[in-house]
């Protein structure tokens, strides 16, 4: 009896270990980064977060507000470059991660914009709109907290006489007399429901880390392609809708994956 007891104890301990080892707590969600197919009890999961990196260019060069650039042969300087982005989504393997409630005010001075949680896995495309859906476009801006991109902004992104937002605001100076020096104030304030545009770009990235960054270039030379900035440089949409339309038609081609 004395000699068998230790063996019994070892057996019990061993059985105990095996039984405990079969019960594992882990992430049981297949759309998470740390999905554990062997986990039997659901634990915390980690998901990727979509971050959009918007990089401003002018004719392939980095945008800055100090330099004078040339677009279509016209000297241009920028002082305000900002636009609303909404409905950002990524998709892959037939699954789309929508972020309907996220609205971004992209400004030239800031490149990284967190969007929200997405699912893990390989992603084939990114999609976003430049501008706001009609309901949001006509909402009351005074209802938002001051740190919300849809709150009133300085410089203003809202037309107070027309209950709508400016989707795109670009200001600066243009050279109207062809002497190489910008001399006239340029204002592109573009909005209205019909000018909302959706952009879809192909990517080939795997969302397997907590931050999933998609790097997107936007080139102002492409935005003003076909526009003679020395003669057409002011539109507030309502007062010169044709020029606003020319810019909007260039919006999809302005964005590309880095």
Partner 1 sequence: MRQKIGFIGMMIGLIGMLMLACQPSVTPVGPDLTPYELNLPPQFPQPESPPENALTQQRVALGRALFYDPILSRDSTISCASCHLLTEGLADHNPVSVGIHGRKGFRNAPTLLNVAYHPYFFVEGGSPSLELQVLGPVENEDEMGFNGAELDQRVRHHPVYGPWAERAYGRQMGIYVVVRALAAFERTLISGDSPWDRYMRGDSAAMSPAAQRGWQLFTSDRLQCRGCHSGLNFSDYSFRSNGLYADSPDAGRHRITLDSADLGTFKVPSLRQVALTWPYMHDGSLPTLAVVIDHYDQGGKGHPNQDPRIQPLGLQPQEKADLLAFLQALTDTSVAKRADWMKP
* Binding region for partner 1 (CB under 8 A): 140-143, 146, 151-156, 158-163, 192, 238-239, 241
Q: How far is the CB of 178 from partner 1 (least distance, A)?
A: 29
Q: How far is the CB of 25 from partner 1 (least distance, A)?
A: 43
- Residue appearing with tokens 């967190």: 114
59 within 8 A of 221, measured Cβ to Cβ: yes
Q: How far is the CB of 246 from partner 1 (least distance, A)?
A: 15
Q: How far is the CB of 38 from partner 1 (least distance, A)?
A: 52
Burial bucket for residue 218 (CB in 10 Å: 0-12, 13-18, 19+): buried
* Closer of 86 and 166 to partner 1 (Cβ): 166
222 within 8 A of 63, measured Cβ to Cβ: no
* Closer of 141 and 252 to partner 1 (Cβ): 141
* Closer of 119 and 166 to partner 1 (Cβ): 166
Q: How far is the CB of 170 from partner 1 (least distance, A)?
A: 17
* Closer of 12 and 152 to partner 1 (Cβ): 152
* Closer of 35 and 144 to partner 1 (Cβ): 144
State the chain's maximal CA–CA distance in angstroms: 109
SS3 for 180-206, per residue?
Answer: CCCCEEEEEEEECHHHCEEEEEEEEEE
* Closer of 162 and 228 to partner 1 (Cβ): 162
Q: How far is the CB of 239 from partner 1 (least distance, A)?
A: 6
């Amino acid at each position: 009896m004395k000699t068998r007891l230790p063996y019994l104890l070892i057996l019990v301990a061993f059985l105990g270990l095996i039984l405990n080892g079969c019960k594992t707590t882990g992430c049981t969600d297949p759309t998470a980064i740390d999905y554990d197919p062997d986990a039997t009890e659901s634990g915390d999961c980690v998901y990727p977060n979509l971050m959009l990196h918007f990089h401003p260019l002018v004719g392939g060069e980095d945008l800055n507000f100090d330099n004078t650039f040339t677009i279509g042969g016209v000297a241009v300087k920028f002082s305000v470059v900002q636009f609303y982005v909404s409905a950002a989504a990524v998709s892959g393997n037939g699954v789309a991660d929508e972020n309907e409630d996220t609205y971004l005010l992209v400004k030239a001075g800031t490149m990284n914009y967190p969007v929200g949680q997405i699912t893990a896995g390989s992603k084939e495309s990114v999609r976003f709109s430049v501008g706001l859906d009609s309901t949001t476009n006509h909402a009351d801006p005074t209802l938002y907290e001051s740190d919300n991109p849809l709150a009133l902004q300085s410089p203003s992104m809202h037309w107070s006489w027309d209950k709508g937002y400016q989707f795109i605001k670009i200001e600066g100076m243009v050279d109207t007399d062809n002497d190489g020096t910008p001399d006239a104030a340029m204002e592109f304030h573009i909005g209205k429901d019909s000018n909302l545009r959706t952009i879809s770009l192909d990517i080939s990235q795997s969302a397997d880390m907590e931050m999933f960054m998609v790097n997107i270039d936007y080139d102002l030379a492409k935005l003003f392609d076909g526009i003679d900035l020395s003669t057409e440089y002011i539109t507030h949409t309502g007062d010169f809708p044709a020029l606003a339309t020319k810019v909007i038609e260039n919006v999809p081609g302005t964005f590309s994956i880095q």
